[in-house]
Amino acid sequence: MFKVKPNPPDSDPGANIMATPRTPCSMFIVNPELSTETLLVHACESLASANVMANDLVDHLQGTSRNALLGIAQVIMLGELAVNRALDRLDPP
């Protein structure tokens, strides 16, 4: 008779992960000294650019792919609106 499942590991693999702190790669690290306002401004500009790119690409698609990308563009726009609202709260007009 054959065994269907393999034997479980002898030790908990998650235990070693929690014991050793992870050091992030510094290649893509955001400067921790940037202000919240600066971070939000850059996030807003990135979302606005992504929205433009998605809307430009929509013109080249048809059917369900077009509908999916329009949905993604709408989610990007909602994220941009949320970031703009956060900026308004930090620096009211």
Domain residue spans in the chain? Answer: 34-90
Model pLDDT, residue 29 = 85
Following DSSP, what letter does each residue of 19-42 receive, concatenated? HSPPPPPGGGPPPTTS-HHHHHHH
Q: Which of 44, 43, 69 is CA-nearest to residue 58?
A: 69
Model pLDDT, residue 12 = 60
The single-letter DSSP state of residue 10 is S
Q: Which of 2-11, 18-27, 65-74, 76-85 has the lowest mean pLDDT?
A: 2-11
How many angstroms separate the CA atoms of 65 and 85, rounded? Answer: 30
Model pLDDT, residue 22 = 74
CB 67 within 8 A of CB 89: no
Angle between helices 63-90 and 36-58 (to 10 degrees): 160
CB 6 within 8 A of CB 42: no
Tokens 């990007």 found at: 76
